[in-house]
Amino acid sequence: MAPDLVRDSTFGQLVNWASNGRLLPYADQRPGYVVPQRYLQPSASTSPTPASPIPRSTTDDSTYSSATPSGAVTLVNEPGVCPAHKDDDEGKADLDLEKQAAPVEPTKEPEPAAPYPFLVDWEENDPDRPLNWSLRKRVFVAFIISLYTFGIYIGSAIYTSSIPGLMQEFGINQVGATSGLTLFVAAYGFGPMFLSPLQELPRFGRNPVYIVGLALFVIFQIPEVLAKNIATVLVFRFLSGFVGSPALATGGASMADIFPMKDLAVAIGAWANGAVCGPIFGPVVGGFAAQNMNWRWPFLELLWVSAFAFLVMFFLFPETLESTILVRRAERLRKLTGNMLLKAPAELLESEKEHLGLVLKKRITIAFRLAAEPALAVAHSYIALVYAVFYLWFEAFPLTFNEIHHFSLGVGGLPYLAFVVAAGITYAFYVVYQRKHMGPRMQKNPNLAPESRLELGLFAAPFIPISLFIFGWTARESVHWIWPIIGAALYLPGIYLAFQSIMMYVSMSYPSYAASILAGNTLFRSVFASIFPLFGEKYFKALGIGAGSSLLAGVSILMIPLLYAIMKYGDRLRARSSFAQG
């Protein structure tokens, strides 16, 4: 497994290219490789030839032969030669008589187009195809995707530990300091709309955007650590969120590259745990660093975590997009055989007249059009509201544990670990649900409607208002601090299962546009939710934690019918779409 991972990684691809295939070679680059007969350059007698005139016949100067691209010979009039009008009239009369006498032949059905003879496709049980990788290899690659997502997503909440220090050093208010969180979250909402479409282009694939974006993410932490003013922090927070955003949008699409549909829900669920644990561990990791050192240390920790993720991805993360792998194989085989007619499926579909800018424009346009699709827009709106409530509610945590229960800055981050415990229990339930309930249903009916995936989200939705009510009315000094922590933990099943059900629904409804759909979902929920932390503290201080949480619980209850509406009318909304498949 390891040699293949290194070879297929960004590092391995660079080494292979620089050594002309001598180092970390593919099978078709090794000595003794036997080229399949169908890939060899055809002989001159059977090869397609360009149209070219053949020397004219000495017995007839009025016509000449021309070889068409298919090899057929056609007679055409020679330019500049005009037969006598008398001969022409006689020829027309003869032709009319022949038409009258000729029987009418029945119309023939057009024959189906023959498959392209030099198509470079997968071999039987091809080891280079991601879906054919061993389970061990797929699990390891999935772990790297989750690590990458964790390394980016921890960057949102780890910032909160630096807010008091930023306010003190730069003399800014709470809203100004919190803007660093808002800009980061909003940027990883906008970023995928422009970067994720690049990852669907076969000529690029997933890895270049991942690697370049993560490298820039690491670099952008350095100015934040060394910042002399708040403007530097805010600018690079936005840029960091933008370049790191594909982790949150395309990570799920990468999981779909390597896992079959029957295992995809469980795989995406595991990846989502990386996304959940990132912002949860942020305050825990950053709180002690900011308390014992200063506000710059959480940024330094983010630099270490993201740099580690970059090294692992650079050396061990392979390309997972099938079309890209086949395009690269076709390039190697053309070089090996000299047969320029060899094409990967994606190359046959690609118009030679479409340059990169035009293709990218089309992809970005599709991403924005998909975000406005009725079925998707309703789903995105629901999950955006859930996340907005989540981010606003998070502002009640320091008020509850630091001010009411007098926890220190570092210890005040520990209650967030309740979400980690709840995530483990929820994921275990989710796996059982997929294996024991959804799996048998899909075996009986492989064409199960995507709306069936929303049943779990509808079941889990009540956890959100229940959690908010318990947290809000136990967040007082007279009640032990464990009760608001238990209440908070109940939020996780609601948001996690709702998120998973919607992600599976939209992915099954629009499978060919998975990365663009996830990008649209990230745009909705991130941009919408990013605004709420700006007024979270004032909101809870004005209403009180009990009343403020109860209002959010009421909004959450009103959102549940949205999920039911998608489940009931989603098939009708999808039927009107030009993008949906099934």
Closest CA to 482 of 408, 563, 417: 417
Does 44 have pLDDT greater than 80?
no
Average pLDDT, integer, range 42-62: 41
pLDDT at 61: 39
pLDDT at 360: 65
pLDDT-based confidence at residue 500 (cuts at 50, 70, 90): confident
Average pLDDT, integer, range 72-97: 41
pLDDT-based confidence at residue 51 (cuts at 50, 70, 90): very low
CA distance 498 to 571: 19
Instruction: Write out the two tokens for 464.
Output: 């959100």
CATH fold label, 355-582: Growth Hormone; Chain: A; (1.20.1250)
231 or 357, which is more confident? 231
Closest CA to 217 of 175, 247, 196, 254: 247
Does 475 have pLDDT greater than 60?
yes
Domain 1-17+115-350: CATH architecture, name and number where available: Up-down Bundle (1.20)
Average pLDDT, integer, range 359-386: 75
CA distance 274 to 447: 30
What mean pLDDT is reported for the chain? Answer: 80
Query: Bridge-partner residues for 63, per DSSP?
Result: 77
pTM across the whole model: 0.78
pLDDT-based confidence at residue 389 (cuts at 50, 70, 90): confident
User: pLDDT tens digits for 518-557?
Assistant: 777 777 788 888 888 888 888 888 888 889 999 999 988 9
346 or 314, which is more confident? 314
333 or 188, which is more confident? 333
pLDDT at 512: 66
Task: Give yes or no on whether 1-17+115-350 and 355-582 have one common fold.
Answer: yes
pLDDT at 123: 87
CB atoms within 10 A of CB 255: 27
Say what percent of the chain tops pLDDT 70: 82
User: pLDDT tens digits for 242-300?
Assistant: 999 888 778 888 888 999 888 888 888 888 887 778 888 888 888 888 888 888 999 99
Transcribe 488-513 into DSSP letters: HHTHHHHHHHHHHHHHHHHHHHSGGG
CA distance 192 to 209: 10
Does 71 have pLDDT greater than 90?
no
CB atoms within 10 A of CB 424: 13
Does 50 have pLDDT greater than 50?
no
Closest CA to 217 of 156, 126, 142: 156
Average pLDDT, integer, range 89-111: 49
SS3 state of residue 270: helix
pLDDT-based confidence at residue 326 (cuts at 50, 70, 90): very high
Average pLDDT, integer, range 304-315: 94
CB atoms within 10 A of CB 560: 17
pLDDT-based confidence at residue 111 (cuts at 50, 70, 90): low
Instruction: Write out the two tokens for 45.
Output: 């007698």
CA 441 to chain centre: 27
Does 369 have pLDDT greater than 80?
no
User: pLDDT tens digits for 133-181?
Assistant: 999 999 999 999 999 998 888 888 888 888 888 998 888 888 888 888 8
pLDDT-based confidence at residue 312 (cuts at 50, 70, 90): very high
Most confident of 307-311, 415-419, 476-480, 525-529: 307-311
Please state the domain extents for the chain: 1-17+115-350, 355-582
Does 78 have pLDDT greater than 70?
no
CA distance 80 to 107: 36
User: pLDDT tens digits for 2-39?
Assistant: 678 899 999 999 999 999 989 999 988 898 888 888 88
pLDDT-based confidence at residue 397 (cuts at 50, 70, 90): confident
Most confident of 166-175, 300-309, 384-393, 509-518: 300-309
Average pLDDT, integer, range 225-234: 92
Widest Cα–Cα separation across the chain: 116
pLDDT at 42: 63
User: pLDDT tens digits for 404-452?
Assistant: 888 887 788 788 888 888 988 999 999 899 888 888 888 888 777 888 8
Q: Per mean pLDDT, which range of 56-65, 228-237, 361-370, 460-469 is the poorest?
A: 56-65
